[in-house]
Amino acid sequence: MKSFLFLFGFLWKIWFIIFFIISFLILLPLFVILSYKKEYFIILNSVIRFWCKCLIFVIGIKLETNFEQKINYNCNYIFCPNHKSYIDIALIYASIKSPILFIGKEEITKYPIFGLLYKKHVITVKRKSIKNSFLAYKKATKEINNNKNIVVFPEGGIFKDTDLKKFKNGAFKIAEASKTPIIPISIFNSQNLFKKYFCFPGKAKIIIHKEIATNNKDFINLKNETWNVIKNSLNEIK
């Protein structure tokens, strides 16, 4: 039985990769056109959101999104989700209607074609470079001031175990400096549905928590409060 599940998961991942490549190539001209000018940012976000919903549907993921409070789409936020799978990015795009800009690792810019578009629509950061990280978060602050929402995975990467890791400081320093509220996001079960060599149909859940106002809080307090919200949420589902 276990061998059958591994075979199914492997073949299902191949099917997903084929669809990903074909759909990306079909949408490529549109991606290129909409990446040409900053004025097209909102339209580009809508196209990416549609594409992500298609990817989630094709892989067989049923996404449940719960909001603890209604998002004010006229305001700007820093969204901070936990991160256990590459499919998390698609799940977030599918859940949030606001135009969003991710902070992501620079290594993906090396991928042919996809990397060029990734670089145009993601604030890239070289995680082991202090200087590069500083410049990336400086750019993120500038984008917030230009009325854009930022998504940061504060754990700083994907880890195999399910424990919530200690958060990096970057997102919370941006929040403190720009006085931008933080919205914690809890993602459940994505690590079981989308693995490195396997993927499976199933149910994923996202909870978009109440915003955390910056007020007079420093970045340490913001970081701890965000971590506690997500940690408590993950513990409740276990």
pLDDT for the residue 190: 93
Distance CA 21, CA 114 (A): 10
Residues contacting 117, CB < 8 A, separation 6+: 28, 31, 32, 35
Give pLDDT, residue 238. Answer: 62
Instruction: Look at the chain and report how many structural domains it folds into.
Output: 1
pLDDT one-digit tens code per residue, 120-164 = 778 888 766 667 777 888 888 888 888 889 999 999 888 777 789
User: For residues 113 and 30, what is the distance between their CA atoms, to the nearest angstrom?
Assistant: 14
What is the distance between the alpha carbons of residues 84 and 91, in angstroms, rounded to a whole number? 12
Q: What is the pTM of this model?
A: 0.92
What pLDDT does residue 129 have?
66
CATH of the domain at 110: 3.40.1130
Average pLDDT value for the chain: 88
> How confident is the model at residue 138, as a pLDDT?
82
Q: How far is the C-alpha of 151 from the C-alpha of 100, rounded, in Å?
A: 7
Phi, psi torsion values for 100, nearest 5 degrees? -125, 150
* Stretches in the chain below the pLDDT threshold 50: none
Can you read off the two tokens belonging to residue 20?
């990903």
The answer to whether the beta carbons of residues 96 and 79 sit under 8 Å apart is yes
Identify the three-state secondary structure at position 124. Answer: strand
DSSP-derived secondary structure for 127-196:
TT-HHHHHHHHHHHHHHHHTT-EEE--TT-S--SSSSPPPPPSHHHHHHHHHT--EEEEEEESHHHHB-S
Residue range of the domain that includes 200: 2-237
Token pair 């854009």: residue: 148
